[in-house]
Amino acid sequence: MSMTKKLAIAGVLSSACLAAHAAPVTYLAADNNVTTLAQMVNSTAAAASFLSVAGALNTVDFESPLPANLTITGGTTNTGTPGCGAVCGFNTTAGGAFFRFVGGGPVTFSFTTAVDAFGFFVTGLQTNLVPQQTITYVDGSSVTQTINMPSAINGGGAFIGFIDYGQLISSVTFNATNDVVVFDDLRFGRSANNPEDPNNVPEPGSLALLGVALAGLASIRRRQQS
């Protein structure tokens, strides 16, 4: 086989792999004007979907010290807000009291062991007044990913989760800009359903891309034999 044909085959396979893992899979939902987790119907549904795919992850509810493999920079862990009610957020842990309070600006979650799945509840949102809130991270290949917040107003709540299969994420930064918010019930770790793991069944999209790659390979071989 000529070098040109070898490079063509490699290009087809590489393109399929890049397309399969070009962007994170996100689980985003929000609820307006909430004061309890029970009212966050959309958010809790998104959290359930995220966990059903990601599998067992580390959980941080701030009711006990942070695990050794997580560091949080920005905000404070406490049980109360400075008299502004639900628009400043609230605890979402059943039977809990503690949460991470952020009075504007960025908060960064850093991991000693890289992750590819991350999610959390956030309350106290007023994205109509502070619409530029974002979540950013580097996926291990020097590509910065940005996830925009779902809309939630009047002390709204949301669940933000994503899986970037097979990547090596060492930190995630949420920029609250000028909003006062609360984080609680963080989930992070390596997804149990990584399609790059040979023990897992590939997702339908990955199978389709692999089929395209194999078809291209077959076409090249037919041309070589003719």
Nearest Cα residue to 57 out of 208, 199, 191, 167: 191
The pLDDT, as a whole number, for residue 2 is 46
> What is the mean predicted confidence (pLDDT) over 24-43?
96
Helix, coil or strand: residue 208: helix
pTM exceeding the 0.85 threshold for the entire prediction = no
Nearest Cα residue to 62 out of 189, 186, 159: 186
Hey, what are 51's tokens? 């966990």
User: Which residues share a beta bridge with 30?
Assistant: 158
The pLDDT, as a whole number, for residue 19 is 41
Give the span between the Cα atoms of 110 and 70, in whole angstroms.
Answer: 6
Give the span between the Cα atoms of 46 and 160, in whole angstroms.
Answer: 8
Q: Which residue has the higher pLDDT, 207 or 192?
A: 192
Per residue in 111-146, pLDDT tens? 999 999 999 999 999 988 888 889 999 988 888 999
Helix, coil or strand: residue 139: coil
In this model, does residue 23 exceed pLDDT 60?
yes
Give the span between the Cα atoms of 178 and 130, in whole angstroms.
Answer: 7
> What is the mean predicted confidence (pLDDT) over 205-213?
46
DSSP code at position 133: -
Per residue in 47-64, pLDDT tens? 999 999 999 999 999 999
The pLDDT, as a whole number, for residue 195 is 64
What is the pLDDT confidence band of residue 187, given thresholds at 50, 70 and 90?
A: very high
Give the span between the Cα atoms of 226 and 217, in whole angstroms.
Answer: 15
The pLDDT, as a whole number, for residue 115 is 97
DSSP code at position 140: S
Cα of 125 vs its chain's centroid, Å: 18
Q: Which residue has the higher pLDDT, 63 or 7?
A: 63
If one counts every other C-beta atom within 10 angstroms of the C-beta of residue 13, the result is 17
Per residue in 139-168, pLDDT tens? 888 889 999 889 999 999 999 999 999 999
